[in-house]
Amino acid sequence: MTGPLVEIENLRVAFRNDDGGWNDAVRGVSFSLGREKLGIVGESGSGKSLTGRSLLGVLPDYARISADRLRFDGIDLTTASPKLRRSLRGGRMGMILQDPKYSLNPVMNVGKQIVEAIRIGDRKLSGAEARRQAVASLEAVQIRDPERVMGLYPHELSGGMGQRVMIAMMVVREPDLLIADEPTSALDVTVRTQVLSIMDELVTRRGMGLIFISHDLNLVSKFCDRVIVMYAGRIVETLDAKNLHAAQHPYTRGLLACLPSIDGSLEPLPTLTRDATWLEAAP
Amino acid sequence: MTDNLPRPLRLLLGFASWLLTVAITLVGLASLTFFIGRVLPIDPVLAIVGEKALPEVYDRVYLELGLDKPIWQQFIEYLGKLLRGDFGISYSTNRPVLTDLLSFFPATLELATIGLVIGVALGVPMGVASAYWHEKWPDHLIRVIGLIGYSVPIFWLGLVGLFVFYYKLGWVSGPGQVDVFFTGIVPRITGFILVDAAIAGEWEVFWNAVSHMILPAVLIGYFSLAYISRMTRSVMLDQLSREYVLTARLKGASEFTVVVRHALGNAAIPLVTVIALSYGGLLEGSVLVETIFAWPGIGNYLYSSLFAADMNAVLGGTLLVGIVFVLLNMLSDVLYAALDPRSRSLANK
Amino acid sequence: MTLLTEPTADPKAAIRAARWKEFRSFARRFFRNPLGVVGLFIVLVLIFVAAFAPWIATHDPYLPTLTARLAAPSAEWWFGADELGRDIYSRLVHGSRLTLLIVALVIVTSAPLGLIIGAVAGTRGGWIDAVFMRITDVFLAIPKLLLALAFVAALGPGIVNAALAITLTAWPPYARLARAEAMVVRNSDYVNAVRLAGASEFRIIVFHVIPMCLSSVIVRMTFDMAGIILTAAGLGFIGLGAQPPLPEWGAMISTGRKFIFDQWWVATVPGIAIFTVSLGFNLLGDALRDLLDPHLRQRK
């Protein structure tokens, strides 16, 4: 496969507000992604989730999107037909949402939801074969007793199990790209590691590209190869995860300084003071 | 408190408490009709027999009602009679009220049911479309149609409808269930004219009944549709804003699948209960519609009883429809529990 | 940067200013909804017509003119004349007073009654709650029109009895509203703070619980008004509302029914009036709900 998996240049997303003007939520984001793990870090409102959703084409129709370049595997997403974009979703690009309590359909059991994903990929597949594949996908995310889980409803699943079901559902058609939007934020800390290791293993084994969106800088730096820091709709810094401590931008440094460390000083943690200049475009 | 008891016992207790609520509601209903019939009128006997009744009739009814006994004892006897199906005698038809009511009920049920079918068949898709194209022209159009439906007085619309479609255009038949010519031809089996005519093979009567029924049924159907589309829209708007809908889109499902299979599938749960309850409203509305169309149902019966000052009949009719309301409430409770997997698990815990 | 704990110069004036600003923003959003404006307009016209009825009407609504029986609409009889030669337009105008009267009577009695019952039930809890809620359930399970029918049949027809009958079935939704709000609010911190300061339950209910329900109550009331008009018209049509010769709109349709085929205006015009007024309240209610309902507001 030639060329990067994802190419984004000057992405802009805006929403109409009450007075008739536009709120710019994403202002000129550019990056590209290969078969690697990229983390996007930022606070609420930084535009990180919107960037992911723009790729997938699931923004509401009252949003306005524009980009100089928005490409997936060479396909120009800005000119692609809705039908093409729909076929890419699930098949070649998957997305995991934050909380399985809400992101799974409460009145359909796990089996039906995964089978639906499989059959969207191959309509001619028999019910029995689809079911078999669904069970296999649950095994792939390390769910013990997958046959029993197939018949469970989302409210009968624990947080970690629900999130693993979500992962299974989104990778079952073997997409090339996986976007994880705060995949562990709703989980207990003890469960997070397990879910992350499952994601890591899947992504590495299948050679997928991963965009990991989170507000947790620490987590992202440990899990990803590269990190992008977003603030107020713009990218303020891009660096390799292992070079995080050498970050230049004051916002990133501020975030790093807020993180407590077990052998750090006993002084109160510094609070981030925001500089209005960060709202302007980087030179 | 009850969490430590074994599961079957807990289920039983829950069921018993639900039944108790139903029973209390029914007793409450009966006490209201009792109050209106016995306590409110200055002379409850006169209210039943009318002013022109003979003294012997007056005395007989006086004893029957037990008016010499204390009020709470009268109430107990009243309840007892109700449980035995004794709703009193209608002094204008000289038959037991319950018999009268049951003979007229099927015609009303027939009309209300067809109305509900129209309401659901058209109202649900309209509500779904309205929610999906929120704030766009289909939404506005459908909302206007619904708005007119619940702003217009139903009896007036029926009158106007008769004027336009029967008198001026001659497209439908006028008041009455069938033409005078056809009355009594079809033997009464179920009480539903369409069913009975079909069973008897009397197709001329069947189509005649259809032409009489079409206007009132469409009228009731329109009302049902206005309400149901509004409710559907509201529930669907809520569901379409939820995350699992986004997940379905992320899987690459078609918009139709997302809206119908996922969103409507979830919306159906509260919607079904709403629709079941709305049936009661249709029965109520039939009172006014039947008077306009001279439809031989409960509404018409109540209307004429009112003018004959036949208290027993009026209260009996109110009680019967009230009981149907309570039954519909029970039905909607059962449907909700049956359809929602979350409530089933609650029962399992 | 001022700390939030610094006292403001004049708190009462600040509150007034804040409330006024909120009202202006609310009004601005309201006037952007054309249908809501139409609804408000219709309601205001109704109030205006009812208030100035004797000056707006062209004839005496009670005076029969036997030579003009069932006259068609013309320059003299704007909407035609009824079977006793009375001007329908004037009767309509005077009938608006009856309409407003019934709506006002019902709302003024049912809403406070329901709110108090619900607020008390929700705040106290326990067996008071259980009893009140069972009573509410009973009244909710009763067919409205039929109960009104039976009630008026027992007490005799008339506008006050009709209003009373409608009130009986109109209060339960308010009780439910108030109870739900009360249950949310009763254990909240600010209510506990007021309790600690010595506030009685009565004070808590009236000054803290009920104001929280206000926006839902207003929306509910507006929709109710539309429904009350229709129910009252229905009762009038059956002959149980205001009695002749009072120009009640439903009763006018009933008398006009006999002449529907040849003098259609006698029955049709009052119905249009009922429809317009009910529509106005429904439009207003829809617009208010879109503005006031916190659930809808969060959604884009």
Residue B213 has, within 13 A of its CA and on its CB side, a CA count of 22
Banded pLDDT at C297 (limits 50, 70, 90): very low
> How many Å lie between the alpha carbon of A273 and the closest alpha carbon of chain C?
13
The pLDDT of residue C149 is above 90: no
Q: B231-247, pLDDT tens digit by residue? A: 999 999 999 999 999 99
Mean per-residue pLDDT, C262-281: 91
d(CA B19, CA B16): 5
For C:4-43, CB contacts with A below 8 A are 29
Contact A94 B250 (CB under 8 A): yes
Which phi and psi (to 5°) does residue B123 adopt?
-65, -40
Q: What is the mean pLDDT of residues A187-212?
A: 91
Taking the CA of residue B258 and the nearest CA in chain C, the distance in Å comes to 19
Among the ranges given (A64-68, A147-151, C239-243), the one the predictor scored with the smallest mean pLDDT = C239-243
The predicted-structure confidence for B26-39, as pLDDT tens digits, reads as follows 888 888 888 888 87
- Band of pLDDT at residue C6, cut at 50, 70 and 90: low
Q: Categorize the per-residue pLDDT at C126 as very low, low, confident or very high, splitting at 50, 70 and 90.
A: confident
Residue B247: closest CA among A114, C30, C75, C188: A114
Give the DSSP letter of residue B242: S
pLDDT number for residue A250: 81
B25 has pLDDT over 90: no
Residue C300 has a pLDDT of 34
Q: Residue B349 has what pLDDT? A: 41
Residue of higher predicted confidence among C116 and A244 = C116
Phi, psi for C164 (deg, rounded to 5): -60, -45
A19 CB near a chain C CB, below 8 Å?
Answer: no
Task: Compute the nearest-CA separation of B243 from chain C (Å).
Answer: 13
Sort out which chain C residues have CB atoms less than 8 A from A60's CB and list them. Answer: 300
Rounded-to-integer distance, Cα A84 and Cα A81, Å:
5
DSSP B35: I
Helices C249-256, C88-124: axis angle to 10 degrees equals 130
* Distances A174 to A132, A169, A203, A248, B319 between C-alpha atoms, Å: 16, 10, 10, 37, 63
Tell me whether C299 touches chain A (CB under 8 Å).
no
Q: How confident is the model at residue B218 (pLDDT cuts 50, 70, 90)?
A: very high
pLDDT at position A53: 92
- Among the partner-chain residues A58, A108, A153, the one whose CB lies closest to the CB of B250 is A58
The predicted model gives B112-141 an average pLDDT of 94
B95: helix, strand or coil: strand
Q: C218 CA to chain B: closest CA distance, Å?
A: 19
Q: What is the pLDDT of residue B68?
A: 76
C70 in the Ramachandran plot: left (φ > 0), alpha (ψ -120 to 50) or beta? Answer: left
CB C68, CB C85: distance < 8 Å: yes
Chain A contact for C300, CB < 8 A?
A: yes
* ipTM field: 0.90
A107·B341 Cβ contact <8 A: yes
Q: Is the pLDDT of residue B125 over 90?
A: yes
* CB-nearest partner of C146 from B37, B287, B326: B287
The predicted-structure confidence for B181-191, as pLDDT tens digits, reads as follows: 777 777 888 88
At A61 the pLDDT is 81
Contact C144 B152 (CB under 8 A): no
pLDDT attached to residue C5:
55
Mean pLDDT of A8-20: 85
Q: Which residue has the tokens 């923004």?
A: A59
- In this predicted structure, the answer to whether residue B205 has a pLDDT above a threshold of 90 is no
Interface test with B, best of C131, C145, C262 (most B CBs within 10 A): C145
Alpha-carbon gap: B151 to the closest alpha carbon of chain A (Å): 30
Name which of A103-117, B229-243, B312-326 the model is least confident about. Answer: B312-326
Q: Which residue of B has its CA nearest to A95?
A: B250
pLDDT of residue C86: 86
- CB-count burial class (<10 Å; 0-12, 13-18, 19+) for B284: buried
Report DSSP state, residue B96: E
* Mean pLDDT, residues A64-84: 91
Q: What is the pLDDT of residues A82-105, one digit of tens each?
A: 999 999 998 999 999 999 999 999
Q: What integer pLDDT is reported at residue B307 of this predicted model?
A: 79
Mean pLDDT of all residues in B242-254: 94
Distance from CA of C275 to the nearest CA of B (A): 5
pLDDT, average across residues B133-141: 90
3-state SS of chain C is: CCCCCCCCCCHHHHHHHHHHHHHHHHHHHHHCCHHHHHHHHHHHHHHHHHHCHHHHCCCCCCCCCHHHCCCCCCCCCCCCECCCCCEHHHHHHHHHHHHHHHHHHHHHHHHHHHHHHHHHHHHHCHHHHHHHHHHHHHHHCCCHHHHHHHHHHHHCCCHHHHHHHHHHHHCHHHHHHHHHHHHHHCCCHHHHHHHHCCCCHHHHHHHHHHHHHHHHHHHHHHHHHHHHHHHHHHHHHHCCCCCCCCCCHHHHHHHHHHHCCCCCHHHHHHHHHHHHHHHHHHHHHHHHHHHHCHHHHHCC
- Which of B141, B132, B137 minimizes the C-alpha distance to B237? B132
The residue-averaged pLDDT of C258-263 equals: 82
- Measure CA B160 to chain center: 24
For C17-40, b/e burial (b = at least 16 CB within 10 A) is eeeeeeeeeeeeebeebebbeebb
CA distance B298 to B291: 10
- Residue B57: phi, psi to the nearest 5? -65, -45
The beta-carbon neighbor of A90 closest among B243, B252, B345 is: B252
Q: Write down the pLDDT at residue C299.
A: 35
Provide DSSP, chain A.
--S-SEEEEEEEEEEE-TTS-EEEEEEEEEEEE-SSEEEEE--TTSSHHHHHHHHHT-S-TTEEEE-SEEEETTEETTT--HHHHHHHBTTTEEEE-S-HHHHS-TTS-HHHHHHHHHHHH-TT--HHHHHHHHHHHHHHTT-SSHHHHHT--GGGS-HHHHHHHHHHHHHTT--SEEEEESTTTTS-HHHHHHHHHHHHHHHHHHT-EEEEEES-HHHHHHH-SEEEEEETTEEEEEEEGGGGGG--SHHHHHHHHHS--TTS-SSPPPPPPPPGGGGSPP-
Residue bearing tokens 């078999």: A132
Q: What is the mean pLDDT of residues C285-293?
A: 83
Please name the residue that has the structure tokens 């079935």.
Answer: C169
Interchain contact, A106 vs B265, CB within 8 Å: no
d(CA A47, CA A229): 11
Q: Which residues of chain A make contact with B341, given a CB cutoff of 8 A? A: 106-107, 109, 153, 155
The shortest C-alpha distance from A47 to chain C (Å) reads: 17
Q: State which residue of chain A sits closest to C299, comparing Cα positions.
A: A60
pLDDT 10s digits, B63-114? 777 777 788 888 888 888 888 888 888 877 788 888 888 889 999 999 999 9
Taking the C-alpha atoms of residue B19 and residue C144, their distance in angstroms, rounded to an integer, is: 24
The contact set of A with B (CB < 8 A) is 56, 58, 86-91, 94-95, 97, 99, 102-109, 116-117, 120-121, 153, 155-156, 166, 169-170
Rounded CA separation C284/A75 (Å) = 50
CB spacing of A15 vs C29 below 8 angstroms:
no
As a whole number, mean pLDDT of residues C172-182 equals 88
Nearest to B37 by CA among C236, C170, C155: C155
Q: Is the pLDDT of residue B51 over 80?
A: no
Q: Please give, rounded to a whole number of angstroms, the shortest distance from the CA of C253 to a CA of chain B.
A: 7
pLDDT of B115 above 60: yes
Rounded to an integer, the average pLDDT of A238-242 is 87
Task: Provide the b/e sequence for C257-295 (b: ≥16 CB within 10 Å).
Answer: beebeebbbbbbbbbbbbbebbbbbbbbbbbbbbbbeee
CA of A60: which chain C residue's CA is closest? Answer: C300
* Highest mean pLDDT pick, A179-188, B14-23, B299-308: A179-188
Total residue count of chain C as it appears in this document: 300
Q: What is the pLDDT at residue B231? A: 93
| Cβ-contact A152, A164 below 8 angstroms | no
pLDDT at C2: 46
Predicted pLDDT of residue B260: 95
Average pLDDT, chain B: 86
Report how many Cβ contacts below 8 Å link chain A to chain C: 4
Neighbours of chain C (3+ CB pairs under 8 A): A, B
Which residues does residue A213 pair with via DSSP β-bridges, in sequence order? A40, A181
Candidates C181, C242, C263; CA nearest to C216 is C181
Picking from B105, B62, B23, B37, the residue whose alpha carbon sits closest to that of residue B296 is B105
- A22 close to C (CB below 8 A): no
Phi, psi of A179 (to 5 degrees): -110, 125
What is the average pLDDT across B57-63?
A: 79
Q: Which of A13, A15, A18, A19 to mutate to test the interface with C (most CBs of C within 10 A)?
A: A18
Helix, coil or strand: residue B89 = strand
Q: What is the mean pLDDT of residues C167-175?
A: 90
pTM given for the model:
0.87
Confidence of residue C57 (pLDDT cuts 50, 70, 90): confident
pLDDT of residue B47 exceeding 80, the answer is no
